[in-house]
Amino acid sequence: MPWRCAGPHRPLIVSAIAAFAAFGAFWGVWGASIPQVQQQAGIGDGRLGFALLFVGAGALPAMLLAGRALDRWGLRVAAPAVAALGCAGAGVAVTAVDLASLCAGLAAVGAASGAADVAMNAVAGRAEKIAGRPVITPAHGVFSALVVVASLGTGLASAASLPLAAPFGAVAVLSLVAGVFLLRTLPAEVVTGRHVPAASASPSGRRGIVPFLSIGVLGALAFASENAHQSWSAVFARDELGSGDGLSAVAPAVFAGTVAITRFCVGGVKAAHARAVLLIGASAAAAGAVLIAAAPTLSVAAPGLVLAAAGTAVLFPTLLGIVSRNVDEARRGRATSVVTTVSYLGFLAGPGYVGLWAEAAGLRGAMVAVAALAAVLLVLTPPLLRLPFTGTPLDGAPPMPDGRATMPQPPGPDLAERIARLEAVEEIKALKHRYLRACDAKDPAGFRACFTASGASIDFDRLGAFDDADGIAKVFERIALQQVGGRNAILDMHHATHPDITVHGAKSASGRWTLKFRQVNLLDGTETVSTGEYDDEYVVEDGRWKMSKCHFRRHWSITRPIGDDCRVDQPGLTRAV
């Protein structure tokens, strides 16, 4: 299934993509600029390694705090977080002239990065839940692609002898633009005040946090494996396979490019296959690492690196998607925070893990140890995904009495959310009925009041298409209020049936209806019977549901003459204007 972003949830999906794009651009610039930053600060390798620790030191507490901020103030927290990341990077480029200033700058970068990481994953998670299609994995693909593009662009800037501030300034502008865009497009409402049953998924309390910690452990194994390859593949190619510095430097780029391509390719895989994706991905990562460890030449190691990259690419996004589809909306921030923070620990530990094994068993032995990480993930995935989570295992398959899983089912919301959705559906039905009643009663004011104040998308087939409801309201008034001899000339009967309404969030929904339509036209003496389909979208405006889109497509119609012996009475419409 191709990945698309259309419908009422489109702004949320686009917001997630924008945040991941800015995030990837920053880290692409940063990774390619480290040698210049080191030179500007005038420090050696040892002090650089010490300074880099401040990225993690700033990120970890910020990631934990960001979750609570999201639950308290809503998804718009992502806007300042993304903007702050670009500004912090530009600050490092300008002020990092010694060890102290570099450490301070990297702590700020880490804090902004950690907050942005949690926030953008929460945005993507909510988008995936309400859209009912994968968003997290394609968004991570955008991140990976922008890392590669920004790295190459920074390399070209360096070759052109541009100052260090140039690429960081560009990414700061991009981050600020993304921040403004997020502020304008992300929903302002905050999900609060709902009752959450004891069995509900929420990281509150020791029991509630265990499933999230478990997912975080799997994410840590995935990230440790991914960053191990990303950090050590060039060294392995140079020291173990005898490749030159130039050819060895290609290895991380091949790995990152494969990760991006894989995430785009699997972006349309349905949620029901999440468990299979994890098991296949872990198996591929383990097999790829073993192939690298045993490779005698670069030509043999390259397929192993590609296989390992493809396997690790799908692991963390899939894990986060499982959590995002199941978590209670009022605690999405904290759940995302727990999972990403624990997973980030694995990302930090991955390169050091390889280094320790390389000292003990050589680089080939270290690659076997990396394969072991994926093997452990493969073994732990089935039992950890079956921990209680919103009353079901994390992979969406409810357990049977014997412990086996039934067919995967969509995760159910809590009772309060169910009630809210049912109330929204009934209010939307009442809205549609008011609209139909206004059509038949020839009530222009009631007709217009059913649509948003401005910007509604209207397409009524033969009656025309409009980008605002005022246009169709004028057409309605012109046609419906025609009179002959003091009597209404056009008599309509609208019956809408088969409602299919989907509530996407607290303030957005979509629906389809089948229309049974009958019209008596006294001007030309005909009767018309027809049927067709409404395709609607709804939003909450001034506390009430309104139609923001109403498209109608006719299926068929029959028009026949009214005989002279036909009598038409309209006592209920005698007061029509």
CATH code of the domain made up of 415-573? 3.10.450.50
**C-beta atoms surrounding 400 within 10 Å:** 9
Query: What confidence tier does 189 reach under pLDDT thresholds 50, 70, 90?
Result: low
Q: Which two tokens stand for residue 53?
A: 């620790």
Of 347-361, 390-404, 531-545, the least confident: 390-404
The dihedrals phi and psi of 270, each to the nearest 5 degrees, come to -70, 160
Residue pointed to by tokens 């991380």: 252
Supply the pLDDT for residue 400: 37
**54 to 51, 439, 537: CA distances (angstroms):** 6, 66, 48
User: CB–CB of 142/21 below 8 Å?
Assistant: yes
As a whole-number percent, the residues of the chain with pLDDT over 90 amount to 39
Beta strand pairing status for 457-459 and 544-561? Answer: parallel
Of 136-140, 151-155, 322-326, 411-415, the least confident: 411-415
Supply the pLDDT for residue 397: 42
Residue 49 has pLDDT above 90, yes or no: no
Residue 237 has pLDDT above 90, yes or no: no
For CATH 1.20.1250.20, the residue range(s) in the chain are: 10-188, 205-399
Mean pLDDT confidence for 51-74: 89
The dihedrals phi and psi of 369, each to the nearest 5 degrees, come to -65, -35
DSSP bridge partners of 166: none
3-state helix, strand, coil in the chain (%, to 5): 65, 15, 20
Of 97-106, 230-239, 343-352, the least confident: 230-239
Contacts of 130 (CB under 8 A, 6+ apart): 9, 12, 504, 505, 508
**547 to 97, 429, 476, 541: CA distances (angstroms):** 57, 11, 16, 9
Mean pLDDT confidence for 89-93: 85
Query: What confidence tier does 322 reach under pLDDT thresholds 50, 70, 90?
Result: confident
Residue 1 has pLDDT above 70, yes or no: no
End-to-end CA distance of the chain: 52
CATH code of the domain made up of 10-188? 1.20.1250.20
Supply the pLDDT for residue 403: 37
As a whole-number percent, the residues of the chain with pLDDT over 70 amount to 88
Which residue type is seen at 483? Q
Query: What confidence tier does 410 reach under pLDDT thresholds 50, 70, 90?
Result: very low
Residue 217 has pLDDT above 60, yes or no: yes
Mean pLDDT confidence for 192-200: 41
For CATH 3.10.450.50, the residue range(s) in the chain are: 415-573
**C-beta atoms surrounding 402 within 10 Å:** 5
Which residue type is seen at 445? A
Q: Which of 235-249, 288-302, 561-575 has the highest mean pLDDT?
A: 288-302
Q: Which two tokens stand for residue 218?
A: 């799997």
Q: Return the HEC string of 200-263.
A: CCCCCCHHHHHHHHHHHHHHHHHHHHHHHHHHHHHHHHHHCCCCCHHHHCHHHHHHHHHHHHHH
Classify burial at 205, counting beta carbons within 10 Å of its beta carbon; exposed 0-12, middle 13-18, buried 19 or more.
Answer: exposed
Rounded-to-integer distance, Cα 161 and Cα 169, Å: 15
CATH code of the domain made up of 205-399? 1.20.1250.20
Supply the pLDDT for residue 424: 92
Average pLDDT score over the chain: 84
Mean pLDDT confidence for 448-476: 90
Residue 402 has pLDDT above 70, yes or no: no
Of 103-112, 344-353, 511-520, the least confident: 344-353
Query: What does the DSSP assignment read for 303-328?
Result: HHHHHHHHHHHTHHHHHHHHHHHHS-
b/e burial code for range 351-378 (CB count within 10 A of at least 16 → b):
bebbbebbeeeebbebbbbbbbbbbbbb
Supply the pLDDT for residue 507: 87
**C-beta atoms surrounding 70 within 10 Å:** 29
User: What are 513-557's pLDDT values in tens digits?
Assistant: 999 999 998 888 899 999 999 999 999 998 899 999 999 999 999
Query: What confidence tier does 412 reach under pLDDT thresholds 50, 70, 90?
Result: very low
Residue pointed to by tokens 């959310």: 417
Query: What confidence tier does 256 reach under pLDDT thresholds 50, 70, 90?
Result: confident
Contacts of 62 (CB under 8 A, 6+ apart): 110, 111, 112, 113, 114, 115
**C-beta atoms surrounding 44 within 10 Å:** 10
User: CB–CB of 335/201 below 8 Å?
Assistant: yes
Contacts 24+ apart (CB under 8 A), 355-362: 358/232
User: CB–CB of 518/493 below 8 Å?
Assistant: yes
Mean pLDDT confidence for 115-124: 91
Q: Which two tokens stand for residue 20?
A: 């991941």
Rounded-to-integer distance, Cα 28 and Cα 39, Å: 18
Residue pointed to by tokens 């030159």: 244
**CA dihedral over 520, 526, 530, 534, signed as positive or negative:** negative
Supply the pLDDT for residue 387: 65
Asked whether the whole model's pTM tops 0.85, one would answer no
Query: What confidence tier does 332 reach under pLDDT thresholds 50, 70, 90?
Result: confident
Q: Which two tokens stand for residue 311?
A: 């396997």
Rounded-to-integer distance, Cα 558 and Cα 196, Å: 53
More confident call, 432 vs 96: 432
Instruction: Using only the alpha carbons of the chain, give its radius of gyration.
Output: 29
Residue pointed to by tokens 């990760």: 259
Residue 201 has pLDDT above 80, yes or no: no
Residue 146 has pLDDT above 70, yes or no: yes
More confident call, 540 vs 386: 540
